[in-house]
Amino acid sequence: MSHSVTARSIKLLCLSLLLAGVIAPTASAATQAAPTAPTTTKANTAKYSSASSSSYVIPAKPNPDHRVVLSGTRNTRDMGGIKTADGKWQIRPKALIRSDRLYRLDDHDVTVLSHDYNVKNVVDFRTPGQVAGSPDAAIPGAPITYLSIFGPQAAANHGLGDGDFYGSRLELGYYAITGYRQFLNSLLTNKGATLFHCVTGKDRTGIAAVLILSALGMDKQTTVDDFMLSNFYYGREAVKQSWIDEYYQVISQNYTNISNYLTRELNFPVAKREQLKARYLVSTDGKNTPYSSAYTTAKPNPSVPTTPAPSTPKPATPAPVTKPSTTTTVTEAGQGDTIKPAKKAKKTVKITATKKRHTKYIYRLKGHKVWFKDAHLKHSKGKTAKSAKTKWRITKQETIKINGKKATYLKVQDNHHHTAWILKKYVVKIKQ
C-alpha cells in the first residue's frame, strides 16, 4: 500500500515539474509533439544542358527589364543592360532588340516597338521562302533589310549534328559570313533602335547576338548566357550548350579566337568595334556616360582660345636615325600586344605544275602546321588544329618553287566544302 502511494506521488511530482518546464520531454515525445517545420524550397532554376553536361544555370525568371512583352512574339528581348567584361560599361536600353518572326504583331505590338522602343531598323535573317510565307508586320518608319543567313534556300542539316550545323552554316558558310558582315557594319550608321530576328529568334538571331556582344567586349560566359536564355521562352531543349560550344570550338580551330574571326571574316576590326562601343555602350555608374577610349579623340573646346607659345629658334641639328617603331594592338582581353614591324617579304613563289586529284581515301592533317588559303601562299590561314578531328579529301596538287626550291602542296577539302593548301608531308592517309 505504501509502495503504490509512493509511486503515485513520484509520478505526480514529475508531471508537475514537466508542466512547469523544469525538465525537458524525451526525444521521442519531443518529436511527436513538435509541429513539422515548413520546408523552404529554392527558387526554380532553369538549367540549360545538353546530352553531355552544362555548367550554365540562370534564373527561371530573367530580368524582366530585358523582355519586350508582345502578344505576337515569344522571344523578343532588349539587349540593354548587358555588361562588358570589366563591368564598367553596358548596352544602352532600347537600342538593340533581338526577336523572332514578326508576322503576328497586332496594332498594340507595333505601337510598343515603334513608340516605346523607337525601332527604326528591322533586319530579317530568314530565307526568301520563309519571308514570303509569313511576311513581317510593318513598323512605321522602320524599313526592313533582308539578309538571308542560309542563302536563297532554307537550311538543311544534310546529316550533320546540330553542333556541326552551327559551325558549318552559321559560322563558315558563305551567306552567313556575308550576311553577318553587312549586319555588323550597318550597326555603325543605323539611327534609332535596330531590331533583328529570324523565325524563332534563337539560332540565326542567337549567333548575331553572340557577335554583337563579342564585338562590344562582353566575355564568353555572358554571350553564352544570353544565347541559352532562349530556353526560358521556348522550352528546355530549344537550344543546347553543345551547339554554342561547337561554334566556339570551330572558331578556336580556324581563327584562334573570336576577335580574329571578326577581323578576318566579318571585316570588323578593333577600330570598328570601338566605334560600335561608342555608339551603344554607356557607363554602369548610374550616369549613363557614353563610352570613350583612346580611339575616340577629344574635340577642342571652342570657348577656350588657344595661342601657340613663342618658340625660340634653335640651331639645326641632323635628324636622328630612327628605327622602325613597334605597334600595339588591342586583343580580346583588352591587353596590348607589342608586335614587331613586319620585314619585307623576300620569298618568291612560282607554280610549275598542276594536277587534279580524285581519291577515295580520307586524310587527316598534322596538328599545328601552317596552311594557306591559296596556292601562291600569300594568304595564310594560320595553323591547323593541335588535335586533328576533321576528315579531308585531296582535290588538287601543285608543284611549287619557293626561292628556287621545289615543294609539293595539296589542296584539301572537308565535307563542308572548306578548302585549304598545305604541304604534302603534313597530310596523312587514314582508313575509311
Q: What angle do CA 418, 424, 430 make, to 5 degrees?
A: 70
Residue 21 pLDDT greater than 80, yes or no: no
Least confident of 158-162, 260-264, 390-394: 158-162
- Residue 366 included in any domain: yes
Same domain for 229 and 132:
yes
- Which of 282, 297, 317 is the last residue in one of the domains? 282
Instruction: Tell which wins on pLDDT, 266 or 367.
Output: 266
* pLDDT level of residue 170 (50, 70, 90 thresholds): low
Same domain for 171 and 86:
yes
- Residue 124 included in any domain: yes
Residue 290 pLDDT greater than 60, yes or no: yes
pLDDT of 154 reads: 60
Residue 236 and residue 249 in contact, taking contact as beta carbons nearer than 8 Å = no
In this structure, how many other beta carbons lie within 10 angstroms of the beta carbon of residue 385?
17
Same domain for 357 and 265:
no
Helix, strand, coil percent values for the chain (each to nearest 5): 30, 20, 50
DSSP of 25-66: PPHHHHHHHSPPPPPP-PPPEEE---SS----EEESS--TTT
- Which of 282, 299, 315 is the last residue in one of the domains? 282
CATH of the domain at 193: 3.90.190.10
- Residue 162 included in any domain: yes
Average pLDDT over residues 259-278: 95
Average pLDDT over residues 112-133: 95
* pLDDT tens, position by position, 182-211: 999 999 999 999 999 999 999 999 999 999
CATH of the domain at 421: 2.30.30
Same domain for 64 and 158:
yes
- Residue 139 included in any domain: yes
Average pLDDT over residues 208-236: 91
pLDDT above 90 covers what percent of the chain? 40
pLDDT of 165 reads: 52
- Which of 248, 282, 316 is the last residue in one of the domains? 282
Highest mean pLDDT among 21-25, 105-109, 335-339: 105-109
Least confident of 174-178, 185-189, 234-238: 234-238
Same domain for 220 and 359:
no
> CA-CA distance, 397 to 357, in Å (whole number)?
7
Same domain for 210 and 85:
yes
Same domain for 370 and 243:
no
- What's the total number of domains in the chain? 2
* pLDDT level of residue 12 (50, 70, 90 thresholds): low
SS3 399: strand
SS3 381: strand
Same domain for 125 and 257:
yes
Same domain for 274 and 129:
yes
Domain membership of residue 356 as a residue range: 349-430
